[in-house]
Amino acid sequence: MLFDLPVLLTVIAVFFLFSAIKVLREYERAVIFLLGRFWKVKGPGLIIVVPGIQKMIRVDLRTIVMDVPTQDVISRDNVSVKVSAVIYFRVLDPEKAIIQVENRVEATSQLAQTTLRSVLGRHELDDMLSEREKLNSDVQEILDQNTEAWGIKVTNVEIKHVDLDESMIRAIAAQAEAERARRAKVIHAEGEFQASQKLAEAADVLGSQSQALQLRYLQTLTEISSERNTNTIVFPLPLDLIKPIFDKTTESKNKN
């Protein structure tokens, strides 16, 4: 059975129209090639792609979160650690992301692994543990510079884990314990030094003022006598209190 020519042409036109109409979401762009050559970037919304002549490749502009596999890193002070990280990146230029690199996600992942090993290998273990923000910034800056040619923007890098072997963990724990003991001794020595200074100042005041020494002596006797469980009280008699008596006795003897 032969189809009517107008009907056949209508069917072909409808099929061609539906094949040519493409709808792109807000976060998508279409890189259009015309007979194998780059033509333009379209989207979002409704676009027309001529079948057989034009070819469309979709590009997602949303941020991609990618885990960097655990890397074996040797620090500058020859400590072997295992480091894992996560990177956040997105496509800024769809044309470069399609033309300049074959697989942008895989390329970014491989570059992140080598960069992570290179940057962390230039730092000591203490820096890896205490200066993660700086290391994150260094890795992010290097990645961003290298992926710019691919139309990719690396927005953030976060080092997740720095794993050590058991022997190194014990060594760090022993070092931390020694540091705490050192600080305790220093604080104790500073306290003793400050106390000795205050005692020396108090001795100078008491030595220069005999009345102050007598008042201090009487205060001590009061504190001792207030203790009810004390049956016998033995206290020294300061020479300053009986010295006038000795002086008068000596003068009387000399007169006689």
Over residues 169-193, the pLDDT tens digits come to 566 666 667 777 788 888 888 888 8
Residue 197 covered by a domain:
no
Per DSSP bridges, beta strands 64-74 and 152-163 are unpaired
Q: Is the domain of 54 the same as that of 81?
A: no
Q: Is the domain of 25 the same as that of 93?
A: no
Instruction: Answer with the residue of higher pLDDT: 1 or 169.
Output: 169
Q: Which residue, of 168, 195, 227, is where some domain finishes? A: 168
| Rounded Cα–Cα distance for residues 142 and 134 (Å) | 13
Neighbours of 108 (CB within 10 A): 22
Q: Indicate whether 216 pLDDT > 90.
A: no
Residue-range definition of the domain harbouring residue 78: 64-168
Taking CA atoms, 51 is separated from 18, 38, 82, in Å, by 10, 15, 51
CATH of the domain at 151: 3.30.479.30
Q: Is the domain of 45 the same as that of 87?
A: no
Residue 81 DSSP symbol: E
pLDDT tens per residue across span 127-149: 888 888 999 999 999 999 999 99
Q: Which residue, of 14, 39, 59, is where some domain finishes? A: 59
Residue 175 covered by a domain:
no
Q: Which of 7-11, 13-17, 250-254 has the lowest mean pLDDT?
A: 250-254
Q: Indicate whether 228 pLDDT > 70.
A: no
Q: Tell me the whole-structure pTM to 2 decimals.
A: 0.64
User: How many domains does the structure of the chain reveal?
Assistant: 2
